[in-house]
Amino acid sequence: MNKVISVGSQFPEFKKIAVSANALIADAPGKEFETISNAVHTASGQWMVMFWWPKDFTFVCPTEIASFNNAYGEFSDRDTVLIGASTDSEFVHLAWRRDHEDLRGLKFPMLADTSKSLADELGILQADEKIAYRATYIVDPQGIIRWVNINDLSVGRNVDEVLRVLDALQTDELCPCNWKKGEETLTTQMANN
């Protein structure tokens, strides 16, 4: 396993098959899959949040995926591309979306890293099973990793915290502990004194 790529590093280049956000729309047969790459956010000057889960057809993972989906509009409002990912294949992703009620209406793609090359390059593969840890990356429009959070396999993440950190990073100012969007930053406070 590689060392975890962290804050300040360039996010690795990738080009992977994903289940399209419109995979289950009745008028989109044959358009279940798409190829996505770094260009999905860097070419458009957007931020990217990529979050990983260990396995499809499990118990904690759909709660997180549904929570990210419920917040999709908030990520979009922040000019941020949202991508979900695991080491399962695009066919397993599609079957899971069709099978699980909470996953049918996903608004973001589910990346399939079947070669495990991207997860390995990121350093997030669990040693025994070679599945991804629950890793979340916030990447700026230049492709630089600005935040990483990795949970153990049994613990789900907090989507509100991902949004809070994204908001803080997008201010490009000093933000104190527990800062929330709309509050004064330390930079503003220092300028006012």
Kindly list the catalytic residues: 61
> Residue 181 — φ and ψ, nearest 5°?
-50, 135
Buried b (16+ CB within 10 A) or exposed e, 114-142: eeeebbbbbbbbeeeeebbbbbbbbbbbe
Within a 13 Å sphere around the CA of 1, how many CA atoms are in the beta-carbon half? 16
Task: Give dist(CA 113, CA 94) in Å, integer.
Answer: 14
Alpha-carbon distance of 146 to 148, in angstroms, equals 7
Q: Three-class SS of residue 132?
A: strand
| Six-digit token string for 106 | 């996903």
Cα distances (angstroms) measured from residue 70 to each of 38, 92, 134, 159, 160: 24, 22, 18, 10, 11
Task: Please say whether the dihedral angle defined by the alpha carbons of residues 189, 79, 132 and 13, taken in this order, is positive or negative.
Answer: negative
